[in-house]
Amino acid sequence: MATGSAVDIADRTEFDQTPTSSVTDREYALRIGLPGLISTILIAISSVAVGWAPIGSGYWGDSIIGGFHEDSTRVAVFAVVLTVGICGLCATWLQLGWNLQQRKVASLRQQRWSLAIWCVPLLLVPPLFSRDVYSYFVQGKILGLGLDPFTVRPVEIGHWVEYGVDPLWANSPAPYGQFWLLLSQGVSAITGDDPYVAAILFRLIALVGLALLVWSIPTLARSTGASAERATWLAALNPFTILLFISAIHNDALMVGLIAAGLALAIRKHPVWAVVVITLAVSVKPVAALALPIVGLIWVGGKYPIRELIKRWSQIAAITIVILIGLALVSGTGLGWISVLVDPDQASARFSPSASVGYWIVSFLELIGVTDVSWIVTVTQVLGVLLGIAIAVWLWRSPRNREPIRALGLAFLLLVLFGPAWQSWYLLWSIALLACAVLTKIEIRLLVALSIVLTIYNIFAHVYDGALYI
């Protein structure tokens, strides 16, 4: 379903024009592949000292590795090595982007093998930037014990500190769907009481998600009239993607991969399988449900006749409900994650822009003696959602924004900016999809700048702020 023709040719950038030349394998290896590999090797080496290694793992007990964490000077040195490695990866990525802008295009094959090689050094090292993977492990253990992860929290079982769970999330129920919890249960059953080995298996799952994204990109990009090479560069080889999906091991990698694969299947005229795959994404993180109506838009095509849309959306809803009920029965947990989503005590809600505004207002009022104003946070969160909806309606007025892939990317962007919960890597939901749309020069520059800024932010937020797990 090609929709790129709906976009004025003036909006196309050099990235989406016909290439004037290609890069030889040798030139690509020397200028892009090798520098990127050296950068990820530096990142992997530094992960030994500044990564999140749980104290309950045999890895932590190694005298050499343990010595790195106990020596603050070594930690500081390796933090610098990490910064150099990440900056090198960013520079390599920008160089590749410059080549694409000059219409000297690296092929999809070249980009894919370089991505694979860049990820290899990161496979066996401790996660950076986040300890969420250890929460996945404990939530899987909770389900394996016959308990409900939507009501039983990590802090309620023994050894959660040794297992590496971040205290910030230790008192939070699992906010994920049953498909993810079943995967987590399987990982915890295989690895027993070793959270570090579990983290490696979770990283392999994240790699599956990244592979699905890479497989899907050409179909998504060509359906919009965008360059598949540019989309692969912006979405998959993006340092922000590699570091937060693979190094940090976030389950968002699998969710995004499943969403992209589902949309690609819909474009390839397999709508039922598309719904099945995206429903699995919903059962990783419920926010993926935003993609289901988009499958309906792709399914009917054309100008979206209302009667046909209602019919397809009804079919999509029926398939989704059947799958979710099946997963609920298999896991024995019911649909508890629905109530978890609206739990105001969820720790991630504290970081959302709308909640932050509310907390600032509350702090100011309390400073001047006004009390009992905590309700203001809820008000600002609701206003944030309403503002996001209003902007979405305004954007929908433009035919360009009605292209399904771009529409979903913008929807995720608005949800992250104005929704009730926020983490920096949530923006990858949007970046991965917007990368597959036809973009103007300024839009590409904004996505590139956003990716670089957030990558650097994670260095300082999770390394230099003293958040080392020692």
Going by pLDDT thresholds of 50, 70 and 90, the confidence category of residue 74 is: confident
Give the span between the Cα atoms of 261 and 101, in whole angstroms: 27
Identify the CA nearest to 205 among candidates 182, 225, 223, 222: 182
| Contact status, residue 349 vs residue 380, Cβ threshold 8 Å | no
Would residue 469 count as lying in a domain?
A: no
Per the structure, the complete domain to which residue 68 belongs is given by 4-464
Does residue 365 carry a pLDDT above 90?
no
- Total domains present in the chain: 1
Going by pLDDT thresholds of 50, 70 and 90, the confidence category of residue 50 is: confident
* Lowest model confidence (mean pLDDT) among 311-315, 361-365, 460-464: 460-464
pLDDT in tens, 316-351: 999 999 999 898 888 888 766 666 655 544 555 666
CA trace torsion 95, 96, 101, 106 (10° rounding):
150
| Contact status, residue 176 vs residue 337, Cβ threshold 8 Å | yes
pLDDT in tens, 401-420: 778 899 899 988 888 888 77
Give the span between the Cα atoms of 126 and 50, in whole angstroms: 9
pLDDT in tens, 148-176: 888 888 888 877 777 778 877 788 888 88
Give the span between the Cα atoms of 74 and 276, in whole angstroms: 49
* Lowest model confidence (mean pLDDT) among 22-26, 246-250, 386-390, 412-416: 22-26
Query: In this predicted structure, what is the pLDDT of residue 214?
Result: 96
How many of the other CB atoms lie within 10 Å of CB of 66? 15
Question: In sequence order, what E strands does 127-243 have?
Answer: none
Give the span between the Cα atoms of 79 and 47, in whole angstroms: 9
Would residue 371 count as lying in a domain?
A: yes
Continuous H helices in 332-374: 337-341, 353-367
Residue 167 identity (one-letter amino acid): P
| Contact status, residue 231 vs residue 435, Cβ threshold 8 Å | yes
* 203 to 98, 172, 194, 243: CA distances (angstroms): 30, 22, 15, 11
The pTM is what?
0.87
Tokens of 213: 């994204």
Does residue 67 carry a pLDDT above 70?
no
Give the span between the Cα atoms of 331 and 329, in whole angstroms: 6
Identify the CA nearest to 470 among candidates 45, 51, 46: 51
Would residue 470 count as lying in a domain?
A: no
Would residue 418 count as lying in a domain?
A: yes
Tokens of 170: 């230790």
Give the span between the Cα atoms of 254 and 285, in whole angstroms: 9
Distance of CA 324 to the CA centre of its chain: 22
